[in-house]
Amino acid sequence: MPSLVSSAVFSSSISSMDKMDRRERVRLLASAIERELPNVEGRPVTIMEVCGTHTMSIFRHGLRGLLPPGIKLISGPGCPVCVTSQSQIDAAIALSQLPGITVATFGDMLRVPGSSGLSLAKAKAQGADVRMVYSPFDALALARREPWRKVCFLAVGFETTAPVVAATIRAAARVGLENFTVFSCHKTMPKALETLFSAEDVRVRGLLCPGHVSSIIGEGPYRFLPESYGISCAIAGFEADEILLGILSLLRQMASGRPRVENCYPRAVSPGGNPRAIAEMEAVFKAADALWRGLGNIPGSGLEIRDEFSAYDAASRFDLSPPAPEKRASSCICGQVITGKASPADCRLFSRACTPSDPQGPCMVSSEGACAAWFKYGGVRP
Amino acid sequence: MCVAVPLRVAEIRESEDDLLAGPVALVEVGTGLQEVRLEIVDRMPEPGDYVIVHAGFAIHTLSQEDAAKSLALFQEAALAFDRAEG
Amino acid sequence: MKNGLGPSGGSIDMVLLDHGSGGLASSRLIKEMFLARLSNPILDELEDSAELHLEGIRVAFSTDSYVVDPIFFPGGDIGELAVNGTINDLAMKGAEPVALSLGLILEEGFPGQDLARIMDSVARSARQAGVSVVTGDTKVVPRGKADKIFINTSGLGLLLHDFPLTASRIRPSDLILISGTVGDHGATIMTRREGLGLDGGLSSDTRPLHRMARALVDELGPEVRAFRDPTRGGLATSLVEMAHKAGLSFEIREEAIPVRDEVAQVCEILGLDPLYLANEGKMIAVVSQDAAARALEIMESMPESDGPAVIGRAVERGVVPVVMETAVGGRRAVEMLTGEPLPRIC
């Protein structure tokens, strides 16, 4: 659904663009993209987006169909839920099954399978205390209201969510709550991007940068991409026209041969990001290695809770070692699918050992990931 | 990874929970008001401002200036297109 | 158990909330657990209510259970839902509802005044709909064995017109109408769930639709092909099911689908799609192209409608059962819900 409220923000000034409604803007931008594409060499022109919300928005609005042939849009590992490793899910499930413990989680996490197909939803069905919350603060409020209950919040998300969780941990610390912990599965974008783009033979030439992660981290962390790897970057919002604006920016950068980081979402993203949120995140978390489903270990790409907040760290308070070692199907080629080197059909596991109900990598966990989409539509998007 | 929406601030006040103290914004959701935490917002909003809300926290206060910049980007794309159309 | 295969070889090893959500998981449950054992020509139709021929008299027979939580919500309560829901199952067949049964399962400790309040709603809703509760049953289970109150209603209605209302009668070029805004009930319930604590002035749309359904059938006759009330699974799921049954594709226009501003906004905040949220007072009507304008007028003239609109049309079967032209001019497939709609943060 188009955002009614953000239209109100747009309509605050007078301009000819403004009077045009979103549908017209989309038509215009699609035409501009079509006009710009011949100026870019090489086919297909591969663009990656790394945000679950971008993936969903592209699907919801049917944007692929509005792009000219010759542009290939890939969904990268931008859905933090989908890249959460099986062992972390297993550990969360094990925690929820302990007496006296309530695991509070975002809705998205409920159906993600751990090993053997078990999920938090299934554990709940079997009697584990798993609750859905909209905000980590709701989990904190629950712990405060019911001091006999040990509440553990399953913290998943990138840099948009980490400061929110950090602020929640700080609030718990100010009060000295003894029954609230956080199981940090947070991951950060820049290191993952570096790993992806430093691999050999990467076909991706442009990156749509996640809009709200950028609200927090600003433009700076992406600069190494154009500077070291020649990748064009455009920070984009989530409406259909905002995404197309980002794609247009990428094409123009490629045509000019001058890749850079262009902020196409200035109403939400300042060049320096949100320093207060960054400070909060850095006060509570430090960088750590992290295992990404389907991609393996990416050094420095995770966030773990600092020692001074260990009282709120589920990893310190509970034994979170997974009941079984990480069962990673070594034939998962999500890493290559994500960077455009392979297609789902090239993967040995696709539709055999890896299906939407028993997914191995993020491309299949996400309902709109490359492999899930291929599975549903047989390679032909309607 | 970022379901977040711009919402209009009706009022700023102190949280009613003394233990979980701090300033909160009351934002308009439909015909009601919703409490949003302000611990990590970049600029403290005022009533009438829009804030981008993620998981119960404001992560950015929108300014008229920034909204205008966004519009300008679209305008520039439109002009370039018009020129190209001839 | 690999992939959760159970001992009988079926694919359901344990019942999950998704199995009750009205989407693909529910379909699997119905097929593997129920149809596999109970199959008969009437049941196999899987319509909102069953059509029975009793010594020359045609009746519609339907049952529905209500387990909604919270039991009291803006716009109604579980009692009202239980009466309207079964009346609507009958109404979707074009039946004139005649009688309801009322089965209650009560949790020990359930407050008497809550029960009285719900029974007041049952009585009021039945009276307003012109239907009687003619028989019932009550059971009480120990505390913790049921969530406050579960209600089952079954209903009997008379089929007074001589053609069936079923999606199999839909033809290409038929138009698809909706009687009003979608997602109201589901959004209202979702925002009341523990932990979400949103408000927003939402309200359930529960109401009986039989008068509106009868008005359409009485005037337009067989130009009316089928009705469906998009309850669990939402508008999208009902459309997919109807398209499958019809063996056709539906082309829908997102812009034409009426959605209240406050519902759209809450859905944005929670990462939900109004097309998948339940409706308890809306109906889909598929009518011939020629009858569509008049059908819309009839709906508009009745208090049960709420911004009725033509949202699409039936076409020859294409690649996917339901295709939508999005509000920005793109195209996408509308799929069936897999399980319960869940709020998203990512």
Give the model's pLDDT for residue C197: 58
Asked if pLDDT for residue A366 goes beyond 80, the answer is no
CB atoms within 10 A of CB A310: 12
**Residues A259-275: pLDDT tens digits?**
999 999 999 999 999 99
Average pLDDT over residues C75-97: 97
Q: Which of C116, C137, C158 is the last residue before a domain boundary? A: C158
Q: Of A92-96, A313-317, C308-312, give the range with the top mean pLDDT.
A: C308-312
CATH architecture of the domain with residue range A86-188+273-317:
3-Layer(aba) Sandwich (3.40)
Count of pairs with CB atoms under 8 A, one residue in A, one in B: 166
How confident is residue C79, by pLDDT bands cut at 50, 70 and 90? very high
C202 touches chain B (CB under 8 A): yes
Give the CA angle between residues A138, A104, A288 to the nearest 5°: 105
Alpha-carbon distances of A256 from A8, A36, A41, A251, B81, rounded to whole Å: 34, 11, 11, 9, 17
Q: Which residues constitute the domain of residue B22? A: 5-61
Per the prediction, chain A carries an average pLDDT of: 87
CA distance B59 to chain C (A): 14
Tell me: do C187 and C296 sit in the same domain. yes
Asked if omega into A259 is within 30° of 0 (cis), the reply is: no
Q: Tell whether B77 is covered by a domain.
A: no
Q: Tell whether B83 is covered by a domain.
A: no
How confident is residue B81, by pLDDT bands cut at 50, 70 and 90? low
Count of pairs with CB atoms under 8 A, one residue in A, one in C: 129
B36 touches chain C (CB under 8 A): no
Q: Which of C103, C127, C158 is the last residue before a domain boundary? A: C158
CB contact under 8 A, C193 and A79: no
Q: Which residue of A has its CA nearest to B30?
A: A5
The values of phi and psi at residue A11, to 5°, are -80, 10
Q: Tell whether C280 is covered by a domain.
A: yes
Q: Tell whether C253 is covered by a domain.
A: yes
Q: Which residue of B has its CA nearest to A166?
A: B40
**Residues C237-278: pLDDT tens digits?**
999 999 999 999 999 999 999 999 989 998 988 888 999 999
Q: Which residue of A has its CA nearest to C4?
A: A117
Q: Tell whether B20 is covered by a domain.
A: yes
Q: Tell whether B27 is covered by a domain.
A: yes
User: What is the C-alpha separation between A261 and A227, in angstroms, rounded?
Assistant: 10
Q: Is 0.85 exceeded by the ipTM?
A: yes
Enter the tokens of residue A19: 């009077």
Q: Tell whether B79 is covered by a domain.
A: no
Element (H, E) at A286: strand A285-292
Average pLDDT over residues C192-217: 84
CB contact under 8 A, C200 and B53: no
Residues 6+ apart with CB under 8 A from B60: A215, A268, A269, A270, A274, B41, B42, B51, B52
For C291, counting Cβ atoms within 10 Å of its Cβ (0-12 exposed, 13-18 middle, 19+ buried), the class is buried
Asked if A33-79+190-263 and A86-188+273-317 have one fold, the answer is yes
**Residues A284-296: pLDDT tens digits?**
999 999 998 878 8
Secondary structure (DSSP) of B16-74: S-STT-SEEEEEEETTEEEEEE-TT-SS---TT-EEEEETTEEEEE--HHHHHHHHHHH
Q: Tell whether C29 is covered by a domain.
A: no
Tell me: do C128 and C202 sit in the same domain. no
Q: What percent of chain C has pLDDT over 90?
A: 79
Interface partners of chain C (CB pairs < 8 Å, 3 or more) are A, B
Please tell me the total count of domains within chain B. Answer: 1
C43 touches chain B (CB under 8 A): no
Task: Write out chain C residues lying below 8 Å of B10, CB-based.
Answer: none
Enter the tokens of residue C90: 């009958």
Tell me: do C102 and C180 sit in the same domain. no
Q: Tell whether B74 is covered by a domain.
A: no
3 state SS of A199: coil
Give the model's pLDDT for residue A7: 38
Residue to test with chain C: of A1, A26, A124, A244, most C Cβ within 10 A: A1
Tell me: do C123 and C179 sit in the same domain. no
- Neighbouring C-alpha atoms within 13 Å toward the C-beta of B6: 24
Task: Write out chain C residues lying below 8 Å of B5, CB-based.
Answer: 265, 268-269
C196 touches chain B (CB under 8 A): no
Q: Tell whether B12 is covered by a domain.
A: yes
Give the model's pLDDT for residue C335: 86
Question: Domain ranges in chain A?
Answer: 33-79+190-263, 86-188+273-317, 334-377
Q: Which residues constitute the domain of residue C82? A: 47-158
Beta-bridged to residue C312, according to DSSP, are: C176, C252
The overall pTM is greater than 0.95: no
Q: Which amino acid is at C9?
A: G
How confident is residue B20, by pLDDT bands cut at 50, 70 and 90? confident
Identify the residue with better confidence: C23 or C51: C51
Secondary structure (DSSP) of A58-126: HHHHT-GGGSPTTEEEEE-S--TTTTB-HHHHHHHHHHHTSTTEEEEE-GGGGG---GGG--HHHHHHT
CB atoms within 10 A of CB A191: 18
How confident is residue A2, by pLDDT bands cut at 50, 70 and 90? very low
CB contact under 8 A, B66 and A270: yes
CB contact under 8 A, A140 and B40: no
Cβ atoms of A241 and A66 within 8 Å: the answer is no
Q: Tell whether C111 is covered by a domain.
A: yes
Q: Of A66-75, A313-322, A331-340, C192-201, give the range with the top mean pLDDT.
A: A66-75
Cβ atoms of A301 and A85 within 8 Å: the answer is no
CB contact under 8 A, C345 and A106: yes
Residues 276-335 of A with CB under 8 A from B: 276-277, 280
Per the prediction, chain C carries an average pLDDT of: 92
Asked if pLDDT for residue A231 goes beyond 50, the answer is yes
Tell me: do C188 and C318 sit in the same domain. yes
Cβ atoms of A376 and A359 within 8 Å: the answer is no
Task: Write out chain A residues lying below 8 Å of B69, CB-based.
Answer: 266-267
Give the model's pLDDT for residue A330: 64
Beta-bridged to residue C57, according to DSSP, are: C54
Give domain A33-79+190-263's CATH superfamily: HypD, alpha/beta domain 1 (3.40.50.11750)
How confident is residue A378, by pLDDT bands cut at 50, 70 and 90? low
B1, B5, B30: residue with CB nearest C346: B1
Q: Which residue of B has its CA nearest to A272?
A: B42
Enter the tokens of residue A83: 């890249």
CATH of the domain at B42: 2.30.30.140
Q: Tell whether B78 is covered by a domain.
A: no
Q: Which residue of A has its CA nearest to C263?
A: A1
The values of phi and psi at residue C63, to 5°, are -140, 150
Tell me: do C98 and C244 sit in the same domain. no
Q: Which residue of C has its CA nearest to B29?
A: C200
Q: How many residues does chain C have?
A: 346
**Residues A48-62: pLDDT tens digits?**
999 888 988 998 899
Give the model's pLDDT for residue C198: 64
Asked if pLDDT for residue C4 goes beyond 50, the answer is no
Please tell me the total count of domains within chain C. Answer: 2
Task: Write out chain B residues lying below 8 Å of C271, CB-based.
Answer: 3
Asked if omega into A325 is within 30° of 0 (cis), the reply is: no
Alpha-carbon distances of A362 from A81, A86, A369, A373, rounded to whole Å: 8, 11, 7, 12
Interface partners of chain B (CB pairs < 8 Å, 3 or more) are A, C
Tell me: do C192 and C313 sit in the same domain. yes
CATH of the domain at C197: 3.90.650.10
The values of phi and psi at residue B26, to 5°, are -95, 120
Average pLDDT over residues A136-155: 95
A220 touches chain C (CB under 8 A): no
